[in-house]
Chains A and B, each alone.
Chain A
Amino acid sequence: MASAHSTLYTPLIEGAKTPAQVTKDICAVLDRKPTWVWWAGFLFAFAVLLIGSAAVTYQIAVGIGTWGLNNTVGWAFDITNFVFWIGIGHAGTLISAILFLLRQPWRTSVNRSAEAMTIFAVMCAGLFPVIHMGRPWLAYWMVPYPNTRGSLWINFRSPLVWDFFAILTYFTISLIFWYLGMVPDLATIRDRTKPGLRRRMLGFLSLGWDGSARTWMHYETVYKMLAGLATPLVVSVHTIVSWDFATSVIPGWHTTILPPYFVTGAIFSGMAMVLTLTIVARKTMGLEQYITVQHIDKMCKVALATGCLMGLAYLTEFFTALYSGNQYEQFAFLNRALGPLSWSYWIMVGCNVGISQLLWFRKVRANVVAVFVIAILINVGMWFERFVIIVISLHRDYLPSSWASYAPTSIEVATLVGTFGLFFTCFLLFCRFVPVIAISEVKGVLGVGRKQRGGPPATAETPSELAKAGSGDKKEVLV
């Protein structure tokens, strides 16, 4: 094997795969009946989703008072979960759009699942702005459309309206991007499928893909353009989410650092979530050769970089508060670190800045179990970061008379857990029905790190070149 390797590159895909093998390996999951592991996972996730649905139904039927909020702390689990899930989604766009434009070939193994994760995460996130309303049945009042309600219009000064547009845009672009990237693969599966309903559906979804050079050319242009469109979204969505807080007057919210802080945090948490998912996926679906330790290593490095940035942000906040000379601001931060809810602050710092420092070590990065644990802890830390920003800032603001505390109710906990149910239900269905790795793109990077003779040309990095090399057409698949 070693002789087949270039001295400059490590192969991205291990096992000296041929394009045909790639198709076979990745489609293997779709071909076989679901295993008991899948069923167990799916049923569990679905049950959790049902619990969450019951909680939300109860909350809407009885009243939002079934959450632990109060007149001082008007947002807590709801918006924490919202920002958390939106943040999770960010890694998907980062991997699919920014890394694509930066020509990072390693993204090909994880971009499909990262994008799927984005979509499911945004679905989870999008739930909260609706259900957190006192009257969710009037959520459509947030939509600016010509209506019969007189001169009533939405308030374009409100960050919540900006939020609405930002999330809608983000979801739309992410969905299109994901779907478009999947078209060649859908065509591959279509071609492997026996005639029937399934094949006809796949035929419809693959938009009549014929694998011709012309099709590839069109496809790539659109893909590149969408990547260009999606790139600013990576920055904009979480920036706008952060404006929910930054434009307010509440100490701890009213800071200009929030947009970069939120974006970094989002990428950090998203990367951790991608790590969590891919580590499970590669193990359970036997894709170790596609999602290699090298991929994990690279994602760990991104997480490490963003984790350090988070640490910098936390320090900067304290410095700004001190430097501002504003007693409310200073109190808000001291109260985070030393106040009655400081345990959540230290969970946040410990997980995000402390634990992530382990990723400096190659040995840790190479240890999949360790990375998995760290990734989970980072996600916990990032959830608490939002909790800290929202709840700790609110619970003790200007007038000491209105200082209060907050504790979640069972309904809120069930709702949070339920979103994980929704997320994993969707993700498990995704694993069953769609190739979890972008087949066509992986074929394009088979040559990376290999000698020319071993397989397709090492320079073949784009799908069109790959197509020219003969993969993705009917003949190959039938082998």
Chain B
Amino acid sequence: MAGDHSHRYWKSLEERNALVESPAAAEDEFPESLEFATGSIGRRQFLKAAGFTFVGAVLTGCQRAPVEKAIPYLVKPEEVIPGLAYFYASTCGGCSAGCGLLVKNRDGRPIKLEGNPEHPLSKGGLCATGQASILGLYDSRRILHPLREGKEATWEQVDRDILDKLEGIRREGRAVRFLSDSISSPTTLATLEAFLGRFPNARHVVYDPLSCSAILDAYEQTHGMRLLPHFRFEMAEVIASFDADFLATWIAPVEYTAGYQAARRLEATPPQFSYHVQFEPRMSLTGSKADQRIRVAPQELGLVVTHLAAMLASLAGAPFPAEGIEQPAVPRQALQEVAQRLWEAKGRSLVVCGSQDVSTQVLCNFINHLLSSYSNTIDLALPSRQRRGNDRELQSLLEELHGGKIAALFISGVNPVYDLPDGNQLAPLLQQVPLVVSLDGKPNETTELAHYVCPNHHSLESWGDQEPVSGVVGLSQPCMQPLGNTRALLESLAAWTGTPKSAYDILRESWQSRIFPRQTKESSFQAFWDRSVQDGFAKLEGTRATAVRPFAAGVVHPILSAGALGEGEFALVLYPKVGILDGRHAENPWLQELPDPITKVTWDNYACLSPAAAAALRVSAGDVVRLESGPATGNGQKGLELPVVVQPGQHDQVVAVALGYGSKATERFAGMGPQWIEGKSTVGETGRVGVSVAPWLRLVDGALQYWRTPVKLQPTGRHLALASTQTYGGIRVPPQLATPGAERRPVIQETALASYLDDVRAGKQWEAEEHEDLWAQDHPYTGHRWAMAIDLNACTGCSACVIACQVENNVPVVGKDEVRRRRVMHWIRIDRYYAGDGADVEVAHQPMLCQHCENAPCETVCPVLATVHNAEGLNQQIYNRCVGTRYCSNNCPYKVRRFNWFNYPHEDRLENLVLNPDVTVRSRGIMEKCSFCVQRIQEAKIEAKRKGEPLRDGAIKTACQQSCPAGAIVVGDRNDPNSLVSQLLRSSRRYHVLQEINVRPSIGYLKLVRHRLEAREEKRDG
């Protein structure tokens, strides 16, 4: 303690010691010195630092950044504005019905097909097949360039070869045949005529894989004109259908559904409700909507029609000799009632028949004649042109082929090797024909055998026209540049006629010379053309296409007996399935995954058996049976193995199998769906989806027959898991699992017509059942409040909405195994319930989608708020936020939520072009569900705001609503008391599914109304 430090104060002994031991250290509390701070920077050091900085800067700048060109259109393509959709009116090429289309184009490519509401036939509806046909445009397996002997060639080479060969054939006068399905296009027919006219022996042979040729033949006999009449279901108050599935697959289902529904409008004043009786061997979609269904085996159909004809003849006092007629297997009483109803509605009744037996069809014509249906409910003056096939000519063509008489065969729109009963025998015969040219754009069994394939455009890529019904000419316009080096059929024909021209020129000239003179509205062709292109069709007034002679009663002959079936023998019925039809779109995964509206099975065909038949054979759903035919089939095939589906309501001696399966086009699905250790293939053992039953068709007496007897069934003991989207079919729970009186669930509610009419007369409206609500003011809904009304009475179950939703909302296809695991992704499904027991079941179809509940159970349970309520009453799913706990789905009483169990990409990358850019594509691990097409709601709102107008009722149409041919779905603003949806929701028919749990759905269903004998019987739940 000396010197300087003596007067320092210390705080602790340690500090004092430190002061003594090292005074300097004590001074400097933080002894570390910073070098830089103390030393001055010299010249060398500065240069070093500067150099380092410079080199560093240069090095980082040396990396070559990727060049991204973001140059706007120098010359903007017309009508391509990113983010804006354009609609082009066109005509559907999905089948021969020729429905009107509006093609939604985004960024220069079509992404969705909608029904054209202005179209006089389809009236805005579009079926599942039509909706799905857009996917065919983006099919990378299409034939995208001409083929010569299976190898890619140029059009010049192919044309030169074909012309050379044709020249030789023409000089030698040998036979040229053009085989196609029904072509209603006036332009194509004229061009074809010009082409064939160059040859001395040339003929256009038309056949339809789903043939109606017996109807045309019958009219030839009774009315002297081979035509298909135009059925006017909207005029019919009583409809009797003999195995005609007119609401689903028969000729023009969209038009017929719209017409059928027009005659059943309960909300109209006065309410309309037609009576529909269906005679059929299996449960068809049309049968499921019928007020009365009578099961008839196919071989008995003619006999039943004869009886009905006899009854009506006696009512009409017309002579009808039917001595020695056998008694039919249907109750006479029921038949008598049908006759009575038809007769009472004379002039307003309609009898249609799907039989391929000409005499049966003649009898139907006789009945319609007795009922004065002609020029009332059946239009012969302006007939339909949707089916023009002539099976007799097909038969003679096949005979010519067998005789080796044909030198050149052109095939367009049909696949005879697959379609026809003896298709596999065609292969060697086609080899002998010197020139076989296929004009199909899709590879199939026939294109493989053709010497030349001259692929046609997809119908969305080319100009064309169709005249489905005389006087209504639909126009197709290209909606994008062709994806490949394909060529329109018109152009190919013109090139081979020696007058090469563009399809546009051919069509325009044809319209100028043929169509324009048939109309009176427009005076200049240009104006007419412009309007037609804009509308997508031209309605030709005042033209009568054909002259028909009066009914010839002399050709009517009774069918006095039906072939009997022995014990254990069955009649095999081959039917087209909704969507798949004859297999023309078998390569379309959307349609393959579309559940059959009745059986709900996807990705397969199967043998439908009635419950009694299945019980007798001791088989249940999925058990494989072997079908054995007495006489060998067209292919010499004797047996066929198929899994069983037990189908209530089917005739006990009938086994029904769908056509259109097992084609080569389905081989592409081998890798469909997620591939993982327990994953199973979408295709069967044959490498294809389902089994082809075309060999079991019969081409006899000039008509393709879709049934055959006798067929025997043999259980094989094998089992195949069917991919079904609904496995429990009843509206009743199994009786042993219910307390007495609670077997039936009030999910489907129905009422009898009489009691509904009483309600209407009394002005009764819907009354809410009040439940206590803890959060009454939780959602004020000050602006819009979206709601939906679904009319169960209108819904036929046709499933057009399912595909429409799938296209609109980028809903993925999951493959057979995933469907089997009950993981189908459809946002809207059609629940199908059976009521009643045994043979006479009643069917109810119920579209089921997110109910957008006011008290949504899903919203409270999501831990991350990925599903929330918006101010307009929508239940929204936020994909980005979803972590995938699936709690919302578990807690959804309607089970409408859909989970992405895997990534489900398009199996064909090119198909990504069909994706709707307005809807997020979901990845795996995410929940999704119906959004009420929120993108459409937003679009309409923005548009209304831009225009400064209030949002018009009807400006918003969800995809399901837009496509519904029956108009069963209506969306709108519930806060607007005048909106259509508000009006419908005031109906006394309104109810909510599961209203007892008080989740308050935004969707109101309108009860089914049934014609009941016990008319006053009102049942809350049926």
Is A402 a contact partner of B895 (Cβ separation < 8 A)? Answer: yes
Cβ of A211 to closest chain B Cβ, rounded Å: 33
Given A154-B865, A161-B863, A335-B886 contact (CB < 8 Å): no
Residues of chain B within 8 A (CB-CB) of A338 are: 736-737
**B893 pairs with A397, CB closer than 8 A:** yes
Q: Which of A71, A75, A330 has its CB near the most chain B CB atoms (within 10 A)?
A: A71
Q: Would you call A401 and B833 a contact (CB within 8 A)?
A: yes
Stretch of B621-629, B656-664, B672-680, B698-706 with 4 or more beta carbons under 8 angstroms from chain A: B672-680
CB-based contact B678/A70 at 8 Å? no
B711-732: CB near A (< 8 Å → 1, else 0) gives 0000000000000001111110
CA distance A248 to B881 in the complex (A): 22
A62 at the interface (CB under 8 A from B): yes
Question: How many chain B residues have a CB neighbour from A under 8 Å?
Answer: 65
Q: Which residues of B contact A65 (CB under 8 A)?
A: 674, 676, 818, 821, 823, 901-902, 924
**Given A69-B886, A249-B999, A399-B895, CB of A63 within 8 Å of CB of B902:** yes
Which residues of B from 577 to 601 have beta carbons under 8 Å from A? none
Within 8 A of B (CB), among A145-176: 152-155, 157-161, 164
Q: Is B529 an interface residue (CB 8 A)?
A: no
- State the interface size on chain A (CB cutoff 8 A): 60
Q: Chain B contacts of A70 at CB under 8 A?
A: 821-823
Does B480 make an interface contact (CB < 8 A)?
A: no
A370 CB–B CB distance under 8 Å: no
Q: Is the CB of B674 within 8 A of A63?
A: yes
| Across-interface contacts of A331 in B (CB, < 8 A) | 733, 737-739, 742
Report chain A residues within 8 Å CB of B860: 155, 157-158, 247
Given contacts A75-B886, A404-B727, contact A69 B894 (CB under 8 A): no
Q: CA A133 – CA B862 in complex, angstroms?
A: 12
Instruction: Confirm or deny: A417 has a beta carbon within 8 angstroms of a beta carbon on chain B.
Output: no
Find chain B residues with CB under 8 A from A142 CB: 863-864, 883
- Does chain A have a CB within 8 A of B926? yes
Report if A404-B822 is in contact (Cβ < 8 Å); known contacts: A152-B881, A331-B738.
yes
Whether B861 is near chain A, meaning CB under 8 Å from some CB there, is yes
CB-CB < 8 A to B897: which residues of A?
A: 71
Once the chains are docked, how many angstroms separate the CA of A396 from the CA of B893?
10
Chain A CB within 8 A of B831 CB: yes
How far apart are A157's CB and chain B's nearest CB, in angstroms? 5
A/B pair count, beta carbons within 8 Å: 197
Judge if B314 is at the interface, Cβ distance under 8 Å.
Answer: no
Q: How far is the CB of B929 from chain A (nearest CB, A)?
A: 10
How would you classify the secondary structure of chain B's contact residues: helix, strand, loop or mixed?
A: loop
Q: Which residues of chain B (898-946) have a CB below 8 Å from chain A?
A: 898-903, 924-927
- Which of A74, A134, A327 is in CB contact (< 8 Å) with B926? A134
Chain B positions 828 through 861: 1 when the CB is less than 8 Å from some CB of chain A, otherwise 0: 0101110000000000001010000000010011
Q: Is B738 touching A62 in the complex (CB atoms < 8 A)?
A: no
Does B760 lie at the interface of the complex (its beta carbon under 8 Å from any beta carbon of A)?
A: no
Contact between B924 and A63, CB atoms less than 8 A apart: yes
Alpha-carbon gap, A70 to B821, bound state (A): 6
Are B890 and A132 in contact, CB atoms less than 8 angstroms apart?
A: no
B893 pairs with A154, CB closer than 8 A: no
A53 on the interface (CB 8 Å rule)? no
Q: Which residues of B contact A68 (CB under 8 A)?
A: 821
A410, B678: Cβ atoms closer than 8 Å: yes
Q: A64-B901, A65-B674, A400-B745 are in contact. Are A158 and B886 (CB under 8 A)?
A: no
> What chain A residues lie within 8 Å of B902 (beta carbons)?
62-63, 65
Q: Does B980 contact A (CB under 8 A)?
A: no
B863 touches A401 (CB 8 A): no
> Which residues A371-387 have CB closer than 8 A to chain B?
none
Q: Within the complex, which residue of B729, B823, B864 is in contact with A155, where a contact is CB–CB below 8 Å? A: B864
A275 at the binding interface (Cβ < 8 Å)? no
Chain A stretch 181-211: residues in CB contact (< 8 A) with chain B: none
With A65-B674, A66-B677, A400-B745: A158-B737 Cβ-Cβ less than 8 Å = no
In contact, A134 and B861 (Cβ under 8 angstroms): no
Using CB atoms, name the residue of chain A closest to B678: A409
Known: A65-B924, A399-B993, A401-B728. 17 other contacts (CB 8 A): A66-B677, A66-B678, A72-B822, A75-B887, A134-B900, A135-B925, A142-B883, A248-B890, A249-B857, A249-B891, A330-B739, A330-B742, A331-B738, A398-B894, A399-B895, A400-B729, A409-B678
Question: Can you offer 26 A-B residue contacts whose CB atoms are under 8 A?
Answer: A62-B676, A63-B901, A65-B676, A65-B821, A65-B902, A71-B824, A71-B895, A74-B886, A75-B887, A132-B885, A134-B882, A136-B883, A154-B864, A158-B862, A247-B860, A248-B861, A330-B738, A339-B734, A399-B848, A399-B893, A400-B728, A401-B831, A401-B832, A409-B678, A410-B677, A410-B678
Top-7 shortest CB links A-B: A134-B884, A134-B925, A65-B901, A74-B886, A327-B742, A401-B831, A402-B895
Write the residues of chain B forming the contact surface with A, with a CB cutoff of 8 angstroms: 674, 676-678, 726-731, 733-734, 736-739, 742, 745, 747, 818, 821-824, 829, 831-833, 846, 848, 857, 860-865, 881-887, 889-891, 893-895, 897-903, 924-927, 993-994, 997, 999
